[in-house]
Chains A and B, each alone.
Chain A
Amino acid sequence: DSGVTQTPKHLITATGQRVTLRCSPRSGDLSVYWYQQSLDQGLQFLIQYYNGEERAKGNILERFSAQQFPDLHSELNLSSLELGDSALYFCASSVRGWTEAFFGQGTRLTVV
């Protein structure tokens, strides 16, 4: 158990809908990262937050947004969902940037 908690584990939704994925980092970790894992794209970095502020951005679609709250948990919002958004979404946390990052178990999103 990495100490990073993601909910829900599975999510099935229809195209055009909006979902929210939640992540609780390890105790003491200030950085949260979101990654998307699909069969043909591997692990793709989406976005990083550090202590509530956005710090780094990857190829995150405009339909996707995230935030980190004062209690350090983070949410990834995915809207206007398309079939191609079906993937595993992972959250990871670390004490700060450039230190070991630990991953949660992921949320499997299926868009039908």
Chain B
Amino acid sequence: GENVEQHPSTLSVQEGDSAVIKCTYSDSASNYFPWYKQELGKGPQLIIDIRSNVGEKKDQRIAVTLNKTAKHFSLHITETQPEDSAVYFCAASYPGTGTASKLTFGTGTRLQVTL
């Protein structure tokens, strides 16, 4: 089955700096890669996603890049703000049969943005 590795496990940056979180996946058939942000006591919130036919996607201060050959994808957050502090999860999804689907998650990165 799919295996997703995520690094680093913790990341501390100063407000205004950039943060980068990296993930690798094992199944070359995976074709959908979402990123989730989880704040304390809340459920994971989808913040951005990318499909395998796209190399990069950007939404304001957040961007995701995908390298299918190397089987890795990254989350980039620019101009970080204190409210960006949370745990971030990457995930990968591969084609199932018909409507079957499952997301395999990385182990999470705890991002702390300091003033």
Report which A residues bind B (CB closer than 8 A). Answer: 2, 4, 30-31, 33, 42-43, 45, 48, 50-51, 55-56, 58, 90, 92, 94, 96-98, 100-106
Contacts and interface: CB of A to CB of B under 8 A. Distances in A.
Contacts of A31: 99, 101
A97 B94 CA distance: 10
Given A2-B45, A98-B32, A100-B34, A55 B96 contact: yes
Secondary structure of the B contact surface, majority rule: loop
Given A55-B96, A101-B34, A48 B101 contact: yes
Contacts, number: 71
A100 B42 CA distance: 18
Given A90-B43, A98-B31, 14 more contacts: A2-B43, A33-B103, A42-B106, A43-B44, A43-B105, A45-B103, A45-B105, A56-B96, A56-B102, A97-B99, A98-B32, A98-B93, A100-B46, A106-B43
Interface residues of B, number: 26
Contacts of A102: 46
B105 A97 contact: no
Contacts of A104: 43
A41 to B, nearest CB: 9
Interface string B6-44: 000000000000000000000000011010100000111
